[in-house]
Amino acid sequence: MKHFIINAVLVIVSTFAIHAGLSSVGLLPALASAQGVSIDQLFGIYTWGIAFLFSLIVVVLLYSLVVFRRKKGETGDGVHMEGSSQLEIAWTVLPLIAVLYLASLGAQSLAETRRIDPSAMIVKVIAGQWYWQFQYPELGIGSGDLYLPVGAQVDLQMTSNDVTHSFFVPEFRLKQDILPGRTVDLRITPTVIGHYKVSCAQLCGSNHAYMIANVEVVSQSDFQAWVTKQLATASQNPVLHGQQLVQQFGCPVCHSTDGSKKTGPTWQHLYQSTVTLADGTKVTADEKYLSNSIIDPNLQIVSGYQPNVMPATFGQSLDAGQIQSILAYLESLK
Amino acid sequence: MKKIISLGLVHGLFWEVIGTAFGVGFVVVVRLLMRLPAWKIEPAVVVGALFGALFFLYGVGALDDWLKWAAGEETPELDESSLGWRRYWGVSHDHKVIGIQYLTLALILFTVGGSFALIFRSELAEPGLQFLTTIEYNTLMSLHGIVMIVGILIGVSAFMNYLVPLLIGASDMAFPRLNAFSFWIAVPAGIILLSSMVLGGFDTGWTGYPPLSVRAPLGMQMFFLGVSLSSFSSILSALNLLATVIRLRTKGMTPFRLPIFVWAAIATSIISLTATQLIGLAFQMVMLERLFGMGFFDPVKGGNPVLFEHLFWFYSHPAVYVFVLPGLGIISELLPVFARKPLYGYKWVAMSSLGIALTGFLVWGHHMFAAGMAEYLREPFMYSTLLVAVPTGVKFFSWVATVWKGKISFPTPMLFVLGGIIVFLLGGLSGPPNATVSTDLLLNNTYYIVGHFHDTLFGGYVLPIFAALYYWWPKMTGRQLSEKLGKLQFWLMGPAMVVLTIGMMRIGLLGMRRRVADYDPALGFQPYHLVLTIAGFLVAVSVLVFFINVFLTSKRGERVTGNVWNSRSPEWQVPSPMPIHNYETPFEVVGEPYDYGLPGSRYVKFEGEA
């Protein structure tokens, strides 16, 4: 009986000590989304559960190792105890009830993160090797950084241009893989103004580590100001707009503007130059050729380069005006 | 020199080269007949590697008896006694030799896979890229994963092969030739797997998700082929083991008098026998997608990349239990010996192994909570996953009750057992936050997962395997490993593993992504990564201490033949090392396996004994 009381006291002390220790170091990053509130609460429950179960096993184990160790000169065996069905049933049934309860808490927490606000702003997220691109179809703008107004739910409609990627902002808590050929939803309500980063969390090839974009959570009025500025750039200065677009779409990963050879042909001095194709014919890089190459990149492959490398999806993601802006930008590199 | 050339392994390697050349030529001829350009590297290399593996099996002699039977010839039993050390380097039908062959191959793979980890761990000590390119980093990281996994599976086979016939009083496994075949197919599989390094590497991780794996360099195919071939090893050795346990138990060895490790081996083999096909299938489908443009997982052709993840994890989650159940069996087997008490709740511990194995089949979806699988699947998988905690809890509680009021001593094997319990507990307790969907959405694909599964594997596999090595080494070799070096190894390895894994979980919770070659210094993780790198090297040093121990004691170690640990188990009642067909006098089971502390009780009685 004495052993049991000492162990019970030690387990309780250890549980509180471990919980205090874990809580004081700051286990989680700052919280910046409404969806994360219930997740952090669940983590709070886990901190208690882990502190208790760790103490229960380790305290009793260490206690036994010290108190029931073989002392010098001792021979013979321990007490012959084969087991107790009541005890075994107890430590099967009690954990069973505990995990079922935990699962129900998990289900509630999941439901919290899935709450839908019908007025949520839609942002189309396009992921590719290795870039992020964000389009605001209701506002008619696009960006390489994700700007979000604070306090409003946003419906991220995400798709991939090539392989599987994953949207991950630790401060928002949620993560969602992004698949090619499909659109998946993720709803987030940012709650704290600030600067964050979205990074790809699903291994997507050699530059996976660098697939990072800025996330700016701003006040409603700052968001409006940003939208106005983006709209103005698009209409007033097509060259600048085109440059923004190619940055957003990650084109410079494969196309240089300084004449150096990358995965795709350089853009320097490309406009109106003569291009030799893989089948030997020569064409002039006029506006028709260039816009065809954007929309259907496998139609005319430049000699020395591989087909099926450039995504064939830009025809869908760019409208005619945007393509005109890109052509204006290419012309400026003449 | 002549002695070396006559080794089965050397023959096998020679034939593997011939087979590879034959396969390459075969592809060229087929392509010419089809009026295609003669040379295309990918099909040539894949078919070459496949034929290389088949020719290896022929060259090493793993097919000899079957070919002779097919030709109607008699096959006398191999006389292996005159071969001495050379019997370990060619086909042997003795389960103990095969066990040690498996063990050697596993230790080689661990050394290789562990070295990969040290290389990329050094790269991670500082942000920025110091000496690796991103593709080199990804290749090493991916190979670390798969080489360790194949090594673990081979190590599992090592212990099941060596121990189970001894523990149940059988003279060998049920199918000795199949047993040799299962081992030898793992050798070319390992070679093919590692050859991916010189064929462009691959950047997908060991999970090989398409579409990325469809675009990856040629090394990807060698990964898929190597794993597919080694899956034959798992399936066939599981089949063999189940047949052995069902058919070859000695008199009186009823199911609930089996040594507890045998229960773990049964549970493990049920999983290996029935789930391994799925990873082979998934990988072969990507191979076909690459070779013939079949669109199984390509959305443009109507395929679905999430399907691959289902097929992959249907094996790869239960596989985790293949890794840890034998280790947990070793813990349950050794704990009573050193606590001098019966294993508490034997039947419950035995059934918990089966419970973990069977529940393990229903939980694969928890790897895919963020994958974009059907929304309604997430909650059922959450419930089923959390259920695994119940049988696992039974094991922990029973272990603690086993040491309670024992007479505990602490030789090296016991230290590794206790270390295993505590580290596996860390792995177990860090599990449920990955099981509830919403918390997992933060943890998925972060270092938290990396820390969690390294704890389960360190505690559920590595530490128990070292316990088993120290415990059964005298049985295998007739010499004892140094206790002093063994304790040094333990006190280096155990704490280093805890620091390594807790550190990983710490930065993972803060948002450190896994599988990245570089990280933003602004995140402030650099000091942690430095500590993790140092801890990783300490683990490596502790393994080095083990190899030094083996080397030093192989010539000068204390000769021991008796019951070193005062165990009740049958293999310790006869002198070490064991003769070729195990027990010269058969025994029968007359009592409970773990009745320590019950005066006058005995587990086994040898024929002719009073």
Q: What phi and psi, each to the nearest 5 degrees, are found at residue A293? A: -65, -30
Measured CA to CA, the distance from residue B166 to residue B160 in angstroms comes to 10
The pLDDT value given to residue A92: 93
Question: Given an 8 Å threshold on Cβ–Cβ distance, is A77 in contact with B341?
Answer: yes
Given a cut of 90, whether residue A197 has pLDDT beyond it is yes
Domain final residue, candidates A235, A255, A275: A235
Chain A contact for B68 (CB, 8 A cutoff) = no
> Containing domain of residue A34, as a range?
2-67+85-113
Question: Given an 8 Å threshold on Cβ–Cβ distance, is B406 in contact with A64?
Answer: yes
Measured CA to CA, the distance from residue B573 to residue B560 in angstroms comes to 13
Q: Do A216 and A242 lie in a common domain?
A: no
Model pLDDT for residues B17-72, shown as the tens digit of each residue: 999 999 999 999 999 999 988 889 999 999 999 999 999 999 998 998 999 999 99
Nearest to A303 by CA among A272, A330, A333, A281: A281
Nearest CA in chain B to A172: B442
Q: Let me know if residue A7 belongs to a domain.
A: yes
Q: Let me know if residue A250 belongs to a domain.
A: yes
Buried/exposed A209-248: b ≥16 CB within 10 Å, e otherwise: bebbbebbbbeeeebeebbeebeebbeeebbebbbbbbeb
Q: Do A187 and A152 lie in a common domain?
A: yes
The pLDDT value given to residue A332: 83
Q: B506: which chain A residues are within 8 Å (Cβ-Cβ)?
A: 25, 27
Question: Given an 8 Å threshold on Cβ–Cβ distance, is B404 in contact with A174?
Answer: no
Q: Do A136 and A219 lie in a common domain?
A: yes
The pLDDT value given to residue A305: 85
Given a cut of 80, whether residue A63 has pLDDT beyond it is yes
**CB-CB: which of A25, A110, A177 is closest to B437?**
A110
What's the structural domain count of chain A? 3
B495 CB burial (10 A radius; 0-12, 13-18, 19+): middle
Chain A contact for B519 (CB, 8 A cutoff) = yes
Q: Do A135 and A151 lie in a common domain?
A: yes
Question: Given an 8 Å threshold on Cβ–Cβ distance, is A180 in contact with B299?
Answer: yes
Q: What phi and psi, each to the nearest 5 degrees, are found at residue A166? A: -150, 135
Q: Do A105 and A127 lie in a common domain?
A: no
Question: Given an 8 Å threshold on Cβ–Cβ distance, is B407 in contact with A78?
Answer: yes
Q: A92: which chain B residues are within 8 Å (Cβ-Cβ)?
A: 348, 390, 393-394
Question: Given an 8 Å threshold on Cβ–Cβ distance, is B432 in contact with A164?
Answer: no
Question: Given an 8 Å threshold on Cβ–Cβ distance, is A39 in contact with B389?
Answer: no
Q: How confident is the model at residue A110 (pLDDT cuts 50, 70, 90)?
A: very high
Chain B: nearest CA to A49, how far in angstroms? Answer: 9
> What is chain A's mean pLDDT, rounded?
90
Q: Count CB atoms within 10 A of the CB of residue A316.
A: 8
The pLDDT value given to residue A260: 77
Measured CA to CA, the distance from residue A106 to residue B386 in angstroms comes to 10
Pairing of strands A282-284, A274-276: antiparallel
The pLDDT value given to residue B370: 94
Measured CA to CA, the distance from residue B144 to residue B112 in angstroms comes to 8
* Alpha-carbon distance values, A228 to A21, B382, B416 (Å): 49, 45, 66
Nearest CA in chain B to A74: B407
B579 CB burial (10 A radius; 0-12, 13-18, 19+): exposed
Chain A contact for B133 (CB, 8 A cutoff) = yes
Nearest to B354 by CA among B321, B316, B393: B321
Q: Let me know if residue A78 belongs to a domain.
A: no
**CB-CB: which of A60, A184, A205 is closest to B400?**
A60
CATH number at residue A313: 1.10.760.10
**How many whole angstroms from its chain centre is CA A230?**
25
Q: Let me know if residue A74 belongs to a domain.
A: no
DSSP string, A93-139: HHHHHHHHHHHHHHHHHHHHHT---TTPEEEEEEEETTEEEEEETTT
B555 contacts B471 by C-beta, under 8 angstroms:
no
Q: Do A109 and A151 lie in a common domain?
A: no
* Alpha-carbon distance values, B497 to B140, B279, B531 (Å): 21, 29, 12
- Tell me the CA end-to-end span of chain B in Å, nearest whole number: 52
Lowest mean pLDDT among A71-80, A166-175, A213-222: A71-80
Nearest CA in chain B to A41: B439
Q: Do A166 and A221 lie in a common domain?
A: yes
* Alpha-carbon distance values, B103 to A83, A197, A289, B476 (Å): 35, 46, 63, 11
Q: Do A108 and A167 lie in a common domain?
A: no
Q: What phi and psi, each to the nearest 5 degrees, are found at residue A49? A: -60, -45
Measured CA to CA, the distance from residue A95 to residue B388 in angstroms comes to 10
The pLDDT value given to residue B2: 74
Domain final residue, candidates A170, A203, A235: A235
Our CA angle for A281, A286, A287, nearest 5°, is 130
Chain A contact for B239 (CB, 8 A cutoff) = no
The pLDDT value given to residue B78: 72
Question: Given an 8 Å threshold on Cβ–Cβ distance, is B510 in contact with A28?
Answer: yes
Q: B341: which chain A residues are within 8 Å (Cβ-Cβ)?
A: 77-81
Our CA angle for B228, B231, B236, nearest 5°, is 140
Q: Let me know if residue A80 belongs to a domain.
A: no
**CB-CB: which of A58, A179, A197 is closest to B422?**
A58
A306 CB burial (10 A radius; 0-12, 13-18, 19+): exposed
Q: What is the block-wise mean pLDDT of chain B (610 residues), using blocks of 10 residues?
A: 80 94 95 90 94 95 92 82 80 93 95 96 93 91 94 95 95 94 95 92 90 92 94 95 95 94 96 93 94 90 92 93 95 95 94 94 94 92 94 95 94 97 96 94 96 96 97 92 96 97 96 94 94 97 96 88 92 88 91 90 87
- Chain B residues 176-215 with a CB less than 8 Å from chain A: 203-205, 207, 209, 211-212, 215
Domain final residue, candidates A216, A235, A254: A235
Q: Let me know if residue A93 belongs to a domain.
A: yes
Model pLDDT for residues A247-285, shown as the tens digit of each residue: 777 788 788 888 877 778 888 888 888 888 888 888 888
Q: How much is the ipTM here?
A: 0.92
* Alpha-carbon distance values, B226 to B105, B194, B300, B335 (Å): 15, 8, 28, 37
For B391, the token pair is: 């049988």
- Chain B residues 343-382 with a CB less than 8 Å from chain A: 344-348, 370-372, 378-379, 382
Measured CA to CA, the distance from residue B570 to residue B168 in angstroms comes to 8
Chain A: nearest CA to B432, how far in angstroms? Answer: 8
Question: Given an 8 Å threshold on Cβ–Cβ distance, is A78 in contact with B510?
Answer: no
Q: Do A165 and A190 lie in a common domain?
A: yes
The pLDDT value given to residue A271: 87
Nearest to B56 by CA among B187, B177, B176: B187
Size of interface A-B (CB pairs under 8 A): 272
Q: How confident is the model at residue A106 (pLDDT cuts 50, 70, 90)?
A: very high
- Length of chain B equals 610
Question: Given an 8 Å threshold on Cβ–Cβ distance, is B422 in contact with A103?
Answer: no
3-state secondary structure of A273: coil
SS3 content of chain B, % helix, strand, coil (to 5): 70, 0, 25
Q: Let me know if residue A77 belongs to a domain.
A: no
Chain B: nearest CA to A183, how far in angstroms? Answer: 10
Q: Do A102 and A189 lie in a common domain?
A: no
Q: Do A108 and A201 lie in a common domain?
A: no
The pLDDT value given to residue B557: 81
pTM of the model: 0.90
Q: Do A153 and A193 lie in a common domain?
A: yes
The pLDDT value given to residue A314: 83
* Cross-strand bridge partners of residue A143: A134
- Tell me the CA end-to-end span of chain A in Å, nearest whole number: 90
Q: Let me know if residue A76 belongs to a domain.
A: no
Chain A contact for B504 (CB, 8 A cutoff) = no
CATH number at residue A223: 2.60.40.420
Q: B216: which chain A residues are within 8 Å (Cβ-Cβ)?
A: 205
Nearest to B334 by CA among B414, B421, B420: B414
3-state secondary structure of B606: strand
Measured CA to CA, the distance from residue A119 to residue B151 in angstroms comes to 54
- Domains in chain B: ranges and CATH: 1-69+86-91 (no CATH), 92-606 (1.20.210.10)
